[in-house]
Amino acid sequence: AGSLKTSKHLLAGALSACISRTLVAPLERLKLEYIVRGATSDAMDVVRTILASEGVQGFWKGNLVNLIRTAPFKSINFYAYDTIRKRITTVTGRKDVTPLEKLAAGAAAGIFATIVCFPMDTIRTRLVAQGGDALGGISGCFRHIITSQGFTSLYAGIVPAIVSMAPAGAVFYGVYDILKTNYLASPAGQEEQRRRMSGSKGSDQMELGPLRTLLYGAIAGACAETMTYPLEVVRRHLQLQSAASRLGLMPTIQGLVNRGGVGALYAGIFPSTLQVLPSAALSYFVYEWMKVTMKV
């Protein structure tokens, strides 16, 4: 029973990632264009360039490898967070965890998932960057990195990824859980709980209901993205550097600022925020709905 429940948890997280990421893949592509190529034109110019050179399918370029990376990342992330939070209640003997403990659980879950899934993130960044088409897809890119730069190159940029994921995971899960706890403790939330108990559809049985789940997920995602975005930009640039010319964390940051000012650390923040809002909202919604549907 325990292994079946774990499998359902992981499946719910994976499906939430696949659905949400595929729907917002065009915005993710725009964000990467700004980061890896230093795009300075407005969003519509970038859209027209992609359409002219690659067609509509160009907006989903790299989406398969993104799903291969994101599906296990989200499933591990959601499951690790729920597991750590429940373990804290077991150890402390309390019914619920404190806000600080929620933040710590989110940070730990994010770091663990990042370490496990980071190589696929590196491969995706290389494939989307200029010249990526010549690498021969996911397996070809993997072989190219291993043979020309060594296994450790798959983890280029892991330090800023962990540094950003700790607060990102803390904020993403912490903000959502704090909003959720406060609402459920309110008179309106208690009425929602009573209504939920009599609901028959999966979406009716979600603790917050569909709309509030989407709203709180979007808020949590936007908060996490805004806080950690500069480190994501730095991470992408570290992933694109060759082994021979690889710079450290601080020299990469200094180089970006010297070339484009502080604004270079926020390249692509607008399409990124547009992508994060629906992605985080859908991710939480599908995850919570799947948990209800599969009776996790």
DSSP labels for 30-93? Answer: HHHHHHHH---S-HHHHHHHHHHHH-GGGGGTTHHHHHHHHHHHHHHHHHHHHHHHHHHHHHH-
Task: Return the pLDDT at 132.
Answer: 67
DSSP line for 104-128: HHHHHHHHHHHHHHHHHHHHHHHHH
Pair of tokens at residue 217: 């997920």
Buried b (16+ CB within 10 A) or exposed e, 143-156: ebbeeebeeebbbb
Rg (CA), the chain: 20
Question: CA 208 from chain center: how many Å?
Answer: 22
Structure tokens at 61: 């370029």
In three-state secondary structure terms, 96 is coil
pTM of the model: 0.72
Do the beta carbons of residue 200 and residue 287 sit within 8 Å?
no
| Distance in angstroms (rounded) separating the CA atoms of residues 5 and 294 | 9
Q: How many domains, the chain?
A: 1
pLDDT at 37: 65
Distances (CA, A) of 20 to 63, 87, 132, 264: 11, 28, 24, 27
For the chain, list residues with pLDDT below 50: none
Cβ neighbours of residue 200 under 8 Å, at least 6 residues apart?
none
Q: Which residues of 218-246 are buried (b: 16+ CB within 10 A; e: fewer)?
A: bbbbbbbbeebbbbbbbbbbbbbeeeeee
Helices (H) and strands (E) in the chain, counts: 11, 0
Other Cβ atoms closer than 10 A to 162: 17
For position 206, what pLDDT does the model report?
75
13 in Cβ contact with 287 (< 8 Å): yes
By the 8 A CB rule, do 169 and 220 touch? Answer: no
Q: What is the CATH number of the domain that holds 175?
A: 1.50.40.10
- For 24, 259, 287, the CA distances from 292, given in Å and listed in that order, are 24, 50, 9
Q: Could you report the per-residue pLDDT of 69-80, keeping only the tens digit for each? A: 788 888 899 889
Collapsing DSSP states into helix, strand and coil, what is residue 289? Answer: helix
- Domain residues for 99? 2-293
Q: Are 50 and 57 in contact (CB under 8 A)?
A: no
